[in-house]
Amino acid sequence: MKVGVFDSGLGGLTVVKSILSTLKGAELYYIADTQHAPYGEKTQAEILSYSLDITRYFIEKHHIDALVVACNTATSAAIETLRETYPELIIVGTEPGIKPAIETTRSGKVGVLATPATLQGEKYQQLVDAHVGKREISLYEQACPGLVEQIEQGKTEHPETETMLRNWLEPMQKEGVDTIVLGCTHYPLVSSLIEKIMVHHLNLIHTGDAIAKRLLVLAREKGHQNEGTTKLHIYATGEIEEKSISNLIGKKVPVSSVSLTL
């Protein structure tokens, strides 16, 4: 089983980490498209173009069996086109965990942290429409411009990052929000700061484990035995903070440069 995974940078490695602990006997190819990061502040057309280029690269160079779009923004902009273009490919996307957040909250007050593009996307609105009406829920949505860049620079504990998060989170804290959806795969990397600011007991909803389990189900349907060792190969289209990769994955993984011009 050969699996291609991509995101605009480090964030998708939170998904890769879950896949590594779930999927056995596979080759994982991860592309951090740092040349075009952050996706959350690009147009839908630009994100779709990047997503198609990366998928074509995975297929032509690595002959992948499955694709994981480890980015909420790219899922919203590109998943339907990718599935139409490559119907033979297993394709798993990423979406904000609105449903599990609603099932988890006790106060009925749910915060959503996401990129501007995700919150403006049609897919996100469909999720909200489908699930929020099922019980009395107050949704506190917050776009987080600039947060992905801080994380990409390794500033997960930086005072600047804390100030940004405080500005966004303190209104939620005062309102009694008890559950926060991390609507970007980068955001689990600042979980400790979020918990520090919110003070009281907090449920943080991110989707790496759910994606890994879904990928395994679909792989088994295609005959995957899920035995043996899984190997990880990491590529970047631009600069990347390699120390952060080691901290996240738990071991040093070499990073190769890649050009998506085929």
Q: How far apart are CA 56 and CA 261, in angstroms?
A: 10
Q: How far apart are CA 66 and CA 59, in angstroms?
A: 9
Catalytic residue among 184, 198, 204, 236, which? 184
Contact status, residue 29 vs residue 54, Cβ threshold 8 Å = no
Question: Tokens 């997960």 identify what position?
Answer: 156
Q: Does the active-site annotation cover 184?
A: yes
Cα gap 91→33, rounded to integer Å: 18
Catalytic residue among 20, 71, 82, 202: 71
CA neighbor of 248 nearest in space, from 6, 4, 20: 20
Say what angle helices 242-249 and 13-20 make with each other, to 10 degrees: 30
**Distance between start and end Cα atoms, the chain:** 23
Q: Which residues contact 145 (CB under 8 A, 6 or more apart)?
A: 40, 41, 115, 116
Residue 144 is among the residues annotated as catalytic for this protein = no
- The torsion defined by the Cα of 147, 153, 159 and 164, in degrees rounded to 10, comes to -10
List residues with catalytic annotation. Answer: 71, 184
